[in-house]
Amino acid sequence: MRLVWCISLSMAAGLLLSCDSRSGGAQAPAAAQAPAEAAQGQGPAAQAPARLVYPTDPGVYTKGVAIAANTPYSTGGTISTFSVSPPLPAGLALDPATGTISGTPTVAAATAGYTVTGANGAGSASYTLTLTVNDPPPQQKPEVALPAFVTASVTGLQASIQDMGPGMTYAWTVQGGTLVAGQGTRAITFTAGEPGILTASVVVSNTGGSVSGRADATVVPAPDATLTMPDNVEVLDASKTASVPAQAGMTYTWTLISGTSAGTILSGQGSNRIGFQAGHAPGTFTIQVKVQNQAGNYLVNSGTVTVKTGH
């Protein structure tokens, strides 16, 4: 008689059945071996991230302007969480699930490195990217306020521009003159050089860019009021003149100031030379002249005339 022995074992993974049809005995079941992972209730072993890269690097951004999202890619195992050190510039944020950097920077930040680490249960990978946040570039052109005319060798003259906003630096140059004070500010003081053209230029800059402006002034000679005139004249003499050196661009204003005698301007008012007539009485009167240049600088000079009776 042939006997068949069957033994069933209940295992965590199911039922195992072992049978032996040989006569006279039963075959004991081989020990059932499940993979170690299955015995532990786990899937295949996790793989660590191998490489992490940000496509936009370096990132140069402008304060107040939203940036384009910068999303990394990686190789190796799937990254489950991201972190960054040091913290990103104010206004920018790192998505801890995707690693995407986005936002609108709110303050300027000098160029610096930021290390992003992507990790999972098996390991991590890091990437250091370089970020810079600049101020918005100057939004207007500087308008240099400068007199149209300045007098040669005069000091204490000024040039200035409008307020260009916070965070600006100012670099001035003066050609045809000497910068005395105010470098690095919106207004400077300078001394004019020799007659000719003077140019005041400024470059206004911040971390976002620069703009420039300039203005020209004509440097004119200082007035010369050296007075040439007679000291003595006879009563009613109408042949005498008074003069100052002729200078281009000057205006001349003559005045005869009565004293114990008087005089009358006969010709030349507004020029560098006048003709005048003495009064009918002996005594003195004063000849005065004001010489003014195009810059508004002037000199006043005067002299006394003695009127005598003829012999």
Report whether pLDDT(100) > 50.
yes
**pLDDT band, very low/low/confident/very high, at 311 (cuts 50, 70, 90):** low
Report whether pLDDT(268) > 50.
yes
pLDDT of residue 24: 42
Average pLDDT of the segment spanning 81-99 = 97
Cα distance between residue 258 and residue 302, in whole Å = 13
Report whether pLDDT(177) > 60.
yes
Write the secondary structure of 27-61 as one string of H (helix), E (strand) and C (coil): CCCCCCCCCHHHHHCCCCCCCCEEEEECCCCCEEE
Domains of the chain in sequence order? 5-40 (no CATH), 49-134 (2.60.40.10), 149-220 (2.60.40.10), 232-308 (2.60.40.10)
Cα distance between residue 72 and residue 85, in whole Å = 16
**pLDDT band, very low/low/confident/very high, at 45 (cuts 50, 70, 90):** low
Average pLDDT of the segment spanning 191-217 = 97
Q: HSE, CB side, 13 Å, CA atoms: give it for residue 89.
A: 27
- Average the pLDDT over each of 25-34, 107-116, 192-201 and give the range with the smallest value: 25-34
Average pLDDT, the chain: 88
H or E segment to which residue 151 belongs: strand 149-151
Phi, psi of 36 (to 5 degrees): -55, -40
DSSP 138: P
Report whether pLDDT(163) > 60.
yes
Question: Which residues make Cβ contacts (< 8 Å) with residue 224, sequence separation at least 6?
Answer: 244, 245, 247, 291, 299
Average pLDDT of the segment spanning 171-188 = 98
- Average the pLDDT over each of 135-139, 156-160, 283-287, 288-292 and give the range with the smallest value: 135-139
> Largest alpha-carbon pair distance within the chain?
188
pLDDT of residue 5: 36
Cα distance between residue 307 and residue 287, in whole Å = 13
- Average the pLDDT over each of 15-24, 138-147, 216-225, 278-287 and give the range with the smallest value: 15-24
**pLDDT band, very low/low/confident/very high, at 310 (cuts 50, 70, 90):** confident
Report whether pLDDT(299) > 50.
yes
Name the 3-class secondary structure at 23: coil
Average pLDDT of the segment spanning 164-169 = 92
